[in-house]
């Protein structure tokens, strides 16, 4: 019972220790200082370079903490098998623990991919800022590509975080409902953590990532944002007859 009661604090402390170690080992290289620019493309590239380089470790550190807690909780559920009967694990506890371990492990990989995505993006933005010719020919392509990658990363990050939150909630609710003494206390703590985790995951789905907002703002400043215009015109009916009509032009 004591192990159950102490598990939330134990896992949280472990996660914080890992996060502290990672953050104290970060390199001190800083991003280029952002200077105001009248050119929307330069301004956008500077913002992307600055944000991606400065925050490359932040998301990965958070992923490690979340993964450590999720793997710890899931492993505890699989190893100790609370609420097991006659050597058979409780189906809800077992399923929730598997979901926790799987989603938390995936978060480590996802965090590493996101780290690489940010580093490569910052390096490419830096290269475009240093080469006006390449910037003119490839700037919009880079911003569009970066926005699409960020949106995909945001979506799958939301899926994994939500899955981990659901697993934590199920584990906690089961212990809260069926457990005794310390198990109920752990169940309440797990349930609260799970609900908060699920909320954090679901807020990833609506809206756009920062690079998407940068792209939209840049297109608007350059006059290339999505628009549809309808104008009066005349349309040929045959070789000798014309009829009034409307023409539509759109940019998507």
In a domain, 93, yes or no: yes
Is residue 241 in some structural domain?
no
Q: In this structure, are residues 124 and 139 in contact, taking their beta carbons and an 8 Å threshold?
A: no
Number of folded domains that form the chain? 1
pLDDT of residue 32: 47
Tell me, what's the pLDDT at 79? 92
pTM for the whole structure: 0.70
Cβ(241)–Cβ(235) under 8 Å? no
Closest by alpha carbon to 147, among 226, 54, 52? 52
pLDDT for residue 20:
46
**Domain presence at residue 182:** yes
Residue 82 belongs to domain spanning: 2-226
Residue 96 counted as domain residue = yes
Question: Residues near 28 by Cβ (< 8 Å), separated by ≥ 6?
Answer: none
Within a domain: residue 53? yes
Helices marked H in the chain: 2-24, 40-54, 56-80, 91-130, 132-178, 182-202, 210-221
Token match 């089961």: residue? 174
Residue 172 lies in a domain: yes
CA count, 13 A, side-chain hemisphere, 169: 13
Return per-residue pLDDT of the chain as tens, 252 residues: 444 444 544 455 455 444 444 444 444 444 444 455 578 999 999 999 999 999 999 888 988 998 999 999 999 999 989 998 888 999 999 999 999 999 999 999 999 999 999 999 999 999 999 999 999 999 999 999 999 999 999 999 999 999 999 999 999 999 999 988 888 999 999 999 999 999 999 998 988 899 999 999 999 988 876 655 566 776 676 666 766 676 665 555
Distances (CA, A) of 79 to 5, 44, 71, 98, 152: 15, 50, 12, 11, 35
pLDDT for the residue numbered 6: 47
- Category of 86 on φ-ψ map: left (φ > 0), alpha (ψ -120 to 50) or beta: left
């Amino acid at each position: 019972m004591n192990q159950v009661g102490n598990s939330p604090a134990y896992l949280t402390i472990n996660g914080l220790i890992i996060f502290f170690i990672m953050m104290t080992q970060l390199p001190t290289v800083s991003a280029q200082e952002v200077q105001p620019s009248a050119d929307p493309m330069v301004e956008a590239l500077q913002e992307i370079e600055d944000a991606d380089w400065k925050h490359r470790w932040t998301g990965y550190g958070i992923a490690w903490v979340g993964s450590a807690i999720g793997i710890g909780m899931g492993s505890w559920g699989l190893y100790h098998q609370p609420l097991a009967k006659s050597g058979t694990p409780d189906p809800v506890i077992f399923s929730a623990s598997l979901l926790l371990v799987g989603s938390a492990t995936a978060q480590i990989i996802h965090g590493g991919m996101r780290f690489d995505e940010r580093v490569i993006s910052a390096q490419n933005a830096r290269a475009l800022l240093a080469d006006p010719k390449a910037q003119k020919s490839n700037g919009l392509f880079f911003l569009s590509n970066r926005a699409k990658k960020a949106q995909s990363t945001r979506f799958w990050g939301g899926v994994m975080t939500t899955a981990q939150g659901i697993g934590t909630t199920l584990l906690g609710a089961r212990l809260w409902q069926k457990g005794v003494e310390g198990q109920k206390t752990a169940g309440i703590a797990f349930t609260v953590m799970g609900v908060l985790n699920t909320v954090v995951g679901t807020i990833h789905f609506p809206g756009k990532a920062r690079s998407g907002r940068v792209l939209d703002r840049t297109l608007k400043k350059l006059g290339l944002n999505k628009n549809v215009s309808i104008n009066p015109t005349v349309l040929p009916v045959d070789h000798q007859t014309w009829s009034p009509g409307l023409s539509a032009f759109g940019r998507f």
